Amino acid sequence: MRRVIIFGLKDYAELAHYYLAHDSSDDVVAFCVHRAYLPADQMFLGLPVIPFEEVASIYPPGDYFFFVPMSPKAMNRDREKIYLAVKDMGYQCISYVSSQATTFGNEIGENCFILENNTIQPFTKIGNNVALWSGNHIGHHGIIRDHVTFTSHVVMSGHCDIGAYSFFGVNSTLRNALKIAEGSFIAMSAAVVKDTEAWAVYKGNPAIKMDIPSTKMRF
């Protein structure tokens, strides 16, 4: 049984605690946030909340694991920052893959948060720090690179290459064999029919590039 510290105190952290408690053999021992965000009683869901600045002296890397299940804010770069900071401290991050997801021995990296009813078809690889919210179709012979978020009910057809930091809104759809460039923001319900440009926003059916960089998106 791995002893796990969860970073954060918001919805994602609460959900991660729920999923790990109900659907894994991992044991969540504490939550962790930067000192400035510590709650007055230093407790959350009946567990201690430890300042990030001190966590390594209380729960040493090697004996404990981390999980950083944060939202896609700032095109996944906020989650990347904490994930890399935790790794720099010497921790290994766990990945959670729902027992209700369908997988086929896929390569899946660390700090991934993969919820129920995702179908990840054979020969598709998933990098580090990837969130697949519920119900996505992740087609065969594809690759999802690091720091990506799929929200829900996205269809990624076969042979797609998903660039790092990308975000997919609910119900978006990708034609087969597309190359989605780094930092692409695909709006909800967009139907992407051709390769995308880096750090661009796409909307509509067929999806059209918007006049705003994805780094300016607020969600």
Assess 60 for contact with ligand COA (CB under 6 A).
no
Instruction: Pick one of 29, 77, 203, 213: the residue that binds ligand COA (CB under 6 A).
Output: 203
- Cβ closest to ligand COA, residue 128 vs residue 152: 152
Q: Tell whether residue 219 is a contact of ligand COA (CB under 6 A).
A: yes
Angle made by CA atoms 38, 41, 44, in degrees to the nearest 5:
75
Q: In this chain, which of 103, 117, 157, 189 binds ligand COA, going by CB under 6 A? A: 189
Q: What angle do CA 99, 102, 105 make, to 5 degrees?
A: 95
ω into 206 cis (within 30 of 0) = yes
Q: Please, which of residues 7-46 interact with ligand COA by CB under 6 A? A: none
Listing from the earlier edge strand, what are the strands of the sheet with 27-33?
Answer: 43-44, 47-51, 27-33, 3-7, 65-67
Q: Which residue number, 28 or 138, has a Cβ lying nearer to ligand COA?
A: 138
For residue 186, give the H/E element and its range.
Answer: strand 185-186
Alpha-carbon distance 106 to 166, whole Å? Answer: 20
Binding part of the chain for ligand COA, among 12-20, 34-42, 118-126, 181-189 by CB under 6 A, reads 181-189
Task: Spell out where 14-76 has E strands.
Answer: 27-33, 43-44, 47-51, 65-67
Q: Token pair for residue 78?
A: 């906020």
Asked if 74 interacts with ligand COA (CB under 6 A), we say no
Compare residues 141 and 203 and give the one whose CB is closer to ligand COA.
203
- Regarding 115 and contact with ligand COA (CB under 6 A), the answer is no
Measured in residues, the chain has a length of 219
Closest CA to 93 of 113, 77, 123: 113
Indicate the residue among 92 and 189 with the shorter CB distance to ligand COA. Answer: 189
Output the smallest distance, CB 53 to ligand COA, in A.
31
Binding segment for ligand COA (CB under 6 A), chosen from 22-30, 52-60, 82-90, 185-193, is 185-193
The footprint of ligand COA on residues 119-158 (CB under 6 A) is: 151-152
Q: Are 201 and 192 in contact (CB under 8 A)?
A: no
Q: Which one of residues 139, 142, 163, 169 is an interface residue with ligand COA (CB under 6 A)?
A: 169
Name the site residues for ligand COA (rule: CB under 6 A). Answer: 151-152, 169-170, 187-189, 203-204, 217, 219
